[in-house]
């Protein structure tokens, strides 16, 4: 079964949206396999956003992600990578449809409540990055 990495970002945690976000994916029928609340290190944040390293907003991205606790999650279900991206909605507020998480809860490009892997390969890489430390002490 396909797996993906979903993360409630610091703004989502501060705004009390953890339960709302988890509910949406549970209601959809997906399975939550792992969850960890953690304030990311600069190293993890930079590795997570490595593909954006050359972008002008990279520094802002890393600063934001390390600004407070996030909820890192592994979810599982049929076609979950693509479907979760639909449920999350577009990055640009003008394009994020009402009914999607960003359409309902985000009004800026940089503080947009949730991250979801954009491909099966990204999901594998991100799950390995975020849960590397956890896997070692979970049987
Ligand atoms: P995310 O899905 O976590 O992946 C990359 C992130 O970059 C994206 O969410 C946005 O939060 C952020 N992002 C994309 N474009 C911009 C931008 N122009 N300015 C600031 N942040 C951006």
Round to whole Å and give the CA distance between 120 and 128.
Answer: 12
**Do 89 and 97 touch, CB atoms closer than 8 A?**
yes
Query: Mean pLDDT per segment of 10 residues, for the chain of length 139 residues?
Result: 97 98 98 97 96 96 97 98 98 96 96 98 97 57
Q: What is the CA radius of gyration of the chain?
A: 14
> What pTM was computed for the model?
0.94
Can you tell me whether residue 4 is helix, strand or coil? strand
Cβ pair 84, 25 in contact under 8 A: yes
- Cα(49)–Cα(82) distance, integer angstroms: 19
Question: Would you state the structure tokens that stand for residue 55, as one six-digit string?
Answer: 């972008």
In the chain, alpha helices (H): 10-14, 18-28, 42-48, 58-65, 80-88, 101-105, 120-135
Shortest-distance atom of ligand 1 to CA 64: 11
- 16 alpha-carbon distance from chain centroid: 15
Confidence (pLDDT) at 132: 86
CA-nearest residue, atom 20 of ligand 1: 110
**57 labelled binding-site residue:** yes
Q: Give residue 130's pLDDT.
A: 97
Site to substitute for ligand 1 among 7, 9, 56, 61, most atoms within 8 A of C-beta = 61
What does the chain come to in residues? 139
52 in catalytic set: no
Rounded to the nearest angstrom, the distance between the alpha carbon of 109 and the centre of ligand 1 is 6
Any residues with Cβ below 6 Å from ligand 1, and which?
A: 52, 57, 60-61, 91, 109-110, 112, 115
Please give the helix or strand (H or E) that residue 48 lies within, else none: helix 42-48
- Tell whether 91 is in a known binding site: yes
């Amino acid at each position: 079964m396909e797996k993906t990495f979903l993360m409630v970002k610091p703004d989502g945690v501060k705004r009390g949206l953890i339960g709302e976000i988890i509910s949406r994916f549970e209601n959809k029928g997906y399975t939550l396999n792992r969850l960890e609340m953690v304030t990311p290190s600069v190293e993890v944040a930079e590795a997570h956003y490595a593909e954006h390293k050359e972008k002008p907003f990279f520094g802002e991205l890393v600063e934001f992600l390390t600004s407070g606790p996030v909820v890192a999650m592994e979810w599982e279900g049929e076609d979950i990578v693509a479907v979760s991206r639909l449920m999350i909605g577009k990055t640009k507020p003008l394009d994020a449809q009402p009914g999607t998480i960003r359409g309902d809860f985000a009004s800026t490009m940089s503080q947009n409540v949730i991250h979801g892997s954009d491909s099966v390969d990204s999901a594998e890489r991100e799950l390995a990055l975020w849960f590397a430390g956890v896997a070692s002490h979970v049987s």
